[in-house]
Chain A
């Protein structure tokens, strides 16, 4: 099982590496959103800092959404997905490996860029640990939920805006707890509760989401 996962992950990473320009798109997109918000809201550091955690979270969420459509699409088109189903390892496991790659290639660059974005938005230094912890816990959960949605739409030629419509209601709790933890810390409350709930959601998502996504893929390919 580990060998299959390693083969899949290394193939996906190599594909991403060969097209480095594309891989940076989500991070670039998030930076653009942040810049646009900063310009639209004017140059008052107080206003900016107040909305910054929310803006940062929305930017990360939208950047993840942007790359979601391609999660299983190319594999569905060239037939690899059928091989996944026939493979001796469980489909959910391969879905999990793919989701991991998706997280590593879209959310991880954003996490690396997060200090830069936080500084651009004038987030107070005291909030940085909470912000980064919430992103670290929340972005894998976004990728996992996104995998279910992407698997549901894999039977279509182009999912387009439907993908966003399906994903956004399911993203609501992650966004609420993620941005909420930072907002709580900004007001002097303890952000621990929200972070623990995010962690609990991540634990549940790690187990359930690949199974749901695998079921959706089976439906689409039958």
Chain B
């Protein structure tokens, strides 16, 4: 073992439950703190510094919450499927735990996206909800997350539950582009494109920095949340082992 590459060794060590517990306990608060700090900067810039939009007025500012969480909702699904695939192929217990920890976080980001989007949609489009491709595929994504969470909760054996839900996540990630394009196609059947809220390039440079801060902030927050959730699940699964008992009885 001594001639092992330190990075590889660290990676292998991380797979051990006690080691992961120490790692998560150490870094989760940092990730949370960084997330709060960067989001605070982003919020300040977004709410006070960025100029009001000439068309949408101040209501466009909700995009600083909406867009980062929409990105995170997709990123968490990809991450969940990645961990799930690793868990299915190599049966690394920690990857099962991490994949399942991704699901509630991603579901929360999806819910935030849907809620902020509909709050934004009311003044902009004059409606809370429209069966637009973006909205529909986000809703389907939310149901997929709920399915993964529900499946994980419903099967009694924790490892079998995690693997079944991981398989669902992998199937889901294959289906997501299909669902996405099917609803785009389905919508274009009826009539022309709905209002494009903003194109990728049409954004004014002065509005961009807060968005980037918020994107970074949500990443850190998700990381912290992932570590904390995985740690809790890890402890629950390992309950009864000596190191958990020692941890529980240790004076604080």
Please give the residue numbers on chain A whose beta carbons come within 8 Å of chain B beta carbons, in ascending order: 148, 152-153, 155-156, 159, 162, 165-166, 168-170, 172-173, 176-177, 180, 183-184, 187, 189, 194, 197, 201, 212, 215-216, 219-220, 222
B62 interfacial by beta-carbon distance below 8 Å: no
Contact (A176, B182) CB under 8 Å given A155-B157, A156-B155, A169-B140: yes
B182 touches A215 (CB 8 A): no
A166 touches B151 (CB 8 A): yes
How far, in Å, is A89 (CB) from chain B's closest CB?
A: 22
> What residues of chain B lie closer than 8 Å to A197, measured between beta carbons?
182
Chain B residues 140 to 186 lying within 8 A of chain A, measured CB to CB, are 140-141, 143-144, 146-147, 150-151, 154-157, 160-161, 163-164, 167-168, 171-172, 175, 178-179, 182-183, 185-186
B186 touches A176 (CB 8 A): yes
B248 interfacial by beta-carbon distance below 8 Å: no
Contact (A169, B144) CB under 8 Å given A176-B185, A216-B167: yes
B179 touches A220 (CB 8 A): no
B164 touches A220 (CB 8 A): yes
Contact (A216, B144) CB under 8 Å given A155-B157, A170-B175: no
From the candidates A153, A172, A177, A183, name the one contacting B140 in the complex (CB within 8 A).
A172
* Cβ-closest 7 pairs across A and B: A173-B182, A176-B186, A166-B147, A169-B143, A176-B182, A219-B163, A169-B140
A222 touches B160 (CB 8 A): yes
From the candidates A156, A177, A189, name the one contacting B154 in the complex (CB within 8 A).
A156
B246 interfacial by beta-carbon distance below 8 Å: no
B147 touches A155 (CB 8 A): no
Please give the residue numbers on chain B whose beta carbons come within 8 Å of chain A beta carbons, in ascending order: 88, 140-141, 143-144, 146-147, 150-151, 154-157, 160-161, 163-164, 167-168, 171-172, 175, 178-179, 182-183, 185-186, 189
How far, in Å, is B110 (CB) from chain A's closest CB?
A: 12
Query: In the complex, A201→B168 CA distance in Å?
Result: 18
Contact (A169, B167) CB under 8 Å given A152-B151, A180-B186: no
A166 touches B164 (CB 8 A): no
B175 touches A169 (CB 8 A): yes
Query: In the complex, A173→B133 CA distance in Å?
Result: 12
> What residues of chain B lie closer than 8 Å to A194, measured between beta carbons?
185
How far, in Å, is B81 (CB) from chain A's closest CB?
A: 13
| 20 A-B pairs whose Cβ atoms sit less than 8 Å apart in the complex | A152-B168, A153-B151, A162-B151, A166-B147, A166-B150, A166-B151, A168-B143, A169-B140, A172-B182, A173-B179, A180-B189, A183-B189, A187-B189, A197-B182, A212-B167, A212-B171, A215-B88, A216-B167, A220-B155, A222-B160
> What residues of chain B lie closer than 8 Å to A162, measured between beta carbons?
147, 150-151, 154
- Chain B's closest residue to A155 (CB) is B155
From the candidates A156, A168, A180, A212, name the one contacting B185 in the complex (CB within 8 A).
A180
A170 touches B183 (CB 8 A): no
> What residues of chain A lie closer than 8 Å to B151, measured between beta carbons?
152-153, 162, 166
